[in-house]
A and B are shown apart, each in its own frame.
Chain A
Amino acid sequence: MSCRLGAWLALLLIPTLCTAAANARLNLPDFAALSKTASDSVSITLDPNLLAMAARFLDSKDPEEAQTIDVIKGLQGIYIRSFTFDTDGAYRASDIDSVRAQLAAPGWTRLVETRSRKTHADVDIYIMVDKNQAVGLAVIASEPRQFTIVNIVGAIDLDKLHKLEGQLGVPKLDIDMTPPEKRGVSKSLAPVSPPPPVPKSP
């Protein structure tokens, strides 16, 4: 009886999870005008079928590629738009406004916001969480000659991402992996924050 009830509950929950993941997909413009002026442009659209196909062509015997397979296994899509220009200021901040507006919608939380006066690079990292599980990730990186939008949809396991750190060029992100109950906050929402200043000894 309880098994049957569990199965019905699972059936009812599947569409809910799918809807949450579907909401995490941003409507990325094709930036047709910018792609004409850009010296280099990257447009990646990987739906679940293509991700599954890519996983088949990754070598599971190779430790790095095996971890990549593990990371993309729960994903429902990876969408990237990146444009590089020969000159500074070839694009306007308003070009990305439509994407930023979508990230202002409920569900999305800004995890990291960095502004570099040195390199004039601004990076915003957003995350969508559903039932303590990250179901969407968005990165907007604006540099003087380049802007990149990354949208990853699906069950993003931060533990697996943590394991990937230092491999495939993925940096150490200092993601706090302490269980949420010990910190009193959701693990998925642990921000990357600078450590407190260390007082200099006299």
Chain B
Amino acid sequence: MKNDIESRLREALRPVAPTEDFTRRVIAQATAKSARSADRSGGAASRRLWWLSGIAASLLMAAGVYQHQRAQREVADGLEARRQVLQALALTSQKLDLAYETVKSQSSSLGDPEAGA
């Protein structure tokens, strides 16, 4: 009885060479696993790249908008300065003209005694 059990156990636990199919399946599974893991890391890198590209694009756009606004502000300031210069010269000339008119009217009064001072 004992010998019978032992022989059955030995029979069941005897070393068996793996079939060709087993090896193929193991290799296929391992390849699939590594591919999945590569896909996962590649997707993360791609997502990171997208994020970085988005941030860079946003920064570029913000810089562009800032430059545009600055240029517009400079143009507005320049045009305002130009307007002020022309207004200042016009106002100055107006007052110089006032002095000139007074001098002219006084000189004509001096030239013509009948005109009265």
Contact = CB atoms under 8 A, between A and B. Distances in A.
Nearest to A172: B100
A80 B91 contact: yes
Interface stretch (A2-10, A25-33, A52-60, A85-93): A52-60
A12 B30 CA distance: 86
Q: How large is the interface on B (under 10, 10 to 19, 20 to 34, 35 or more residues)?
A: 20 to 34
Given A82-B91, A121-B98, A197-B111, A192 B103 contact: yes
A56 B92 CA distance: 21
B77 A53 contact: yes
Contacts of A171: 93, 96-97, 100
B89 A53 contact: no
B88 A148 contact: no
A78 B102 contact: no
B97 A54 contact: no
20 contacts: A46-B81, A50-B81, A53-B77, A53-B78, A57-B78, A57-B79, A114-B98, A115-B102, A118-B105, A123-B102, A139-B95, A141-B98, A169-B97, A171-B96, A171-B100, A172-B100, A193-B103, A194-B107, A197-B111, A198-B111
Interface of B: 77-79, 81-82, 84-107, 110-113, 117
Interface of A: 42, 44, 46, 50-51, 53-54, 56-58, 68, 71-72, 78, 80, 82, 112, 114-119, 121, 123, 125, 139, 141, 143, 148, 150, 152, 168-174, 192-195, 197-198, 200
